[in-house]
Structure 1
């Protein structure tokens, strides 16, 4: 069982980075095989250019990182996304990752038929989305339309074939106490990722 972590934050002193460290500690302690995709560190370009779009329907790319990332996705059984929520949704970098890396075609991330999108990433049996935000979770869930759960997790990741989807969120980060942040990191360091 191989775990793929997709990390999306530009600042290595962020709470998201502390979450990444806690997860790596957890997986190492449990002798889990894992790989980290660090989108910012890798210098991933999330922007579609004309050539990339021209190659899309053939399942091709001219970006070597897209090939690398798609191969990692196809070999993973568990995926863990670590990302902040910015303006009620995932950052543009992570949206660009979904846009560019998820390629249409047999044996890639999805196929399209008259009845809709069919996910090909059924090898991913367990999916975890770990987010942070300045807004509390109740505000995101009840007053902001819950886009992360409703669209990203229940639609996009589902359409790609990713199974057993879970959302863990740390809200109110700006006004949180050190003790609360440490409790959450301890929870993540001891969480049972399948």
Structure 2
């Protein structure tokens, strides 16, 4: 499988960075190809400017600002998102990446009055999400886990119809013990090995 890892965390020494390294190593050891988009390291600009927004619906023109990222998302067969959950959702950097890279004509077809949005990323057959949350499991569920829904329902909706999804979150990250973190890493490795 050709796997694109979309990583979003400002701290290179974070637990999320460790998870990224474990995932990339496990992918390679399992015989997969892997590319990493490190949004902070690449200084990705999550803000869609006026000119970009005005050209948003224009085929080909709308691809120019994010051509490199589109090439990578068209290359892959699986996308793996790694990020911290902040305020129950996606970090602004990752949300901005989705806003700017998932554009009409290139990744989906806009809905009309007679038909819903149409998928264009049929090359993607796997979507996996690995996150950390400060809140406990029950509180995250009560709020509705908007980040999880955005990626495993929204993003998946423009992927292959038989796209499989995987999700693993380490809740209460700020008070988690080394033992809990080690067990979570084992769970992550197991999910990646099964891809």
Q: Give the TM-score taking structure 1 as reference length.
A: 0.91
The one of 109, 112, 131 equivalent to 1:111 is: 109
2:178 paired with 1:183: no
CA gap of 1:6–1:193, structure 2 versus 1, over 3 A, is farther
- CA distance in 1: counterparts of 2:45 and 2:149, whole angstroms: 26
Deviations 1:45-74 (Å, cap 9, x if unpaired)?
0001111112211142453xx111111111
Q: CA RMSD in A?
A: 1.5
Per mean C-alpha deviation after superposition, the further-off stretch among 112-121 and 164-173 is 112-121
1:145 corresponding residue in structure 2: 144
The Cα shift of 1:38 comes to: 0.4
CA gap of 1:28–1:189, structure 2 versus 1, over 3 A, is same
CA gap of 1:46–1:77, structure 2 versus 1, over 3 A, is same
2:18 corresponding residue in structure 1: 18
CA gap of 1:166–1:189, structure 2 versus 1, over 3 A, is closer
Alignment of 1:156-171 (within 5 A): 156-161=154-159, 163-171=163-171
The Cα shift of 1:193 comes to: 4.6
- CA distance in 1: counterparts of 2:2 and 2:63, whole angstroms: 25
- How many matched pairs? 188
1:120 corresponding residue in structure 2: 120
| Residue aligned with 1:6, SS | strand
- CA distance in 2: counterparts of 1:58 and 1:183, whole angstroms: 47
Q: Show structure 1 runs of 5+ residues with no match.
A: none
CA contact 1:52–1:61 (8 Å) conserved in 2: no
CA contact 1:25–1:189 (8 Å) conserved in 2: no
4+ long deviations beyond 3 Å:
149-152
2:47 corresponding residue in structure 1: 47
CA gap of 1:62–1:117, structure 2 versus 1, over 3 A, is same
2:88 corresponding residue in structure 1: 88
- CA distance in 2: counterparts of 1:173 and 1:125, whole angstroms: 30
